[in-house]
Structure 1
């Protein structure tokens, strides 16, 4: 099917209605609350403690993002002529501007004197977000589960905690500002981001068997699919 602006406009409204707004909203709200703690408590925060708050905010937001591709009607939409990669890309495109605004608000909530290096912490946030999106896309591609978000959120939370506890300190993924592993850690975050992008891209196309199902359904038409 040819992708045209008209088609995208027709798809945008139903895709927007299908977004898991509760999960996304809960993750975003929790992240904003964490970032607002320095201003709500009037406590003294330095870049090290602010970094922990920002990482917590990012984790909360990414847990919400794992629900992005949940689709209770997945078994029905599997046979529609519009490709899944287009529907997935449209969901992501609708959320992306809101995610950028959310991150801007989170950073601004941290007092200027307590903010860690913005470029570095934004790299961490981008990597975490793409990991969540890649995990969601891979789950949709590799399984027939309609709503994998809850399972993925639990897995992401458990993996994050295990990584923080078990990864060698010299990897620097959870280093704090002024630690000697800070710069090396963000080189590793760049590798995480690149790997997640590759997994995300590879998970976009539908498996062959689902493409055949959609093609067969479109050829049969509604009259052949409806029981007599």
Structure 2
């Protein structure tokens, strides 16, 4: 009976966290990232004869980077020192933040794709895979910074590292590169590498959002103390 009750408590706990989690999301950087990305994607609509696929790809990559830079601040939490020992683990709270923010980012990305004129659109599935990998990398960097430090604003660390990684990717030789041009013989191979980047980023994210052993013990002790008569 106890196990059945524990399983039933999960959705109730998550439901109770939805509203407070939504209130503490860092809306300013998230909104700024999406707004900047959409502004960049809208540039072809303001320029005459902007129907180059190379231009469309460059603008969508810039849009994806703007979105990702905004998402590096997702885990910023000035109240972090007071929430480390609460009964609900950091893993649940972190995944919930991502679940609340990513749908809005996905909608923004769909809008960005539509803003690019049809003649200037690169292969949409491939460029969306690039955007997904950048987003996962941004979140993984923020989660790693939060796990390995007591920083209440890990976004300040992640937002500095992500552009460095992007520049490194741009400077790679084409045969190992990520940011290749449409029509390049390396296009398909580059997107295999993007898939690998996505997999590594998701692995790092999953490992980084887990509760550190010391905090897990503290939280479990807190929970047992609350259950004592």
TM (normalized to structure 2)?
A: 0.91
CA root-mean-square deviation: 1.4
The C-alpha deviation readout for 1:18-68, integer Å capped at 9, x for no partner, is: 101000000000100000000022342311111000000000110010000
* Equivalent-residue separation in structure 1 for 2:195 and 2:52 (angstroms): 25
Asked whether the equivalents of residues 172 and 186 of structure 1 are also in contact (C-alpha less than 8 Å), the reply is no
1:72-123 deviation line (CA, Å, top 9, x unaligned): 1111000100011110111111112111111100000000111000111011
| TM superposition shift of 1:6 | 2.4
Q: CA deviation at 1:11?
A: 0.3
Corresponding residue for 2:3? none
Matches within 5 A, 1:14-53: 14-53=20-59
Aligned-pair distance for 1:155?
1.4
Whole-angstrom distance in 1 between the partners of 2:164 and 2:49: 30
Tell me which moved more, 39-48 or 138-147: 39-48
Say whether the 8 Å CA contact 1:34–1:53 is kept in structure 2: yes
Q: 1:79-90 counterparts in 2 under 5 A?
A: 79-90=85-96
Question: Which residue matches 1:128?
Answer: 134
Query: Which blocks of at least 5 consecutive residues in structure 1 are unaligned?
Result: 222-228
Aligned to 2:182: 177
Counterpart residue number, 1:226: none
Which is worse superposed, 38-47 or 167-176? 38-47
The residue that corresponds to 2:202 in the other structure is 197
Match of 1:206 among 197, 207, 211: 211
Secondary structure of the equivalent of 1:82? coil
- Residue 140 of structure 1: aligned partner: 146
User: Is contact 1:172–1:182 with CA below 8 Å preserved after alignment?
Assistant: no
Report the count of equivalent residues. 220
Aligned to 2:77: 71
Name 1:5's counterpart in structure 2: 11
If the length of structure 1 is used for normalisation, what is the TM-score? 0.92
> Can you give the 5+ residue segments of structure 2 that lack an aligned partner in the other structure?
1-5
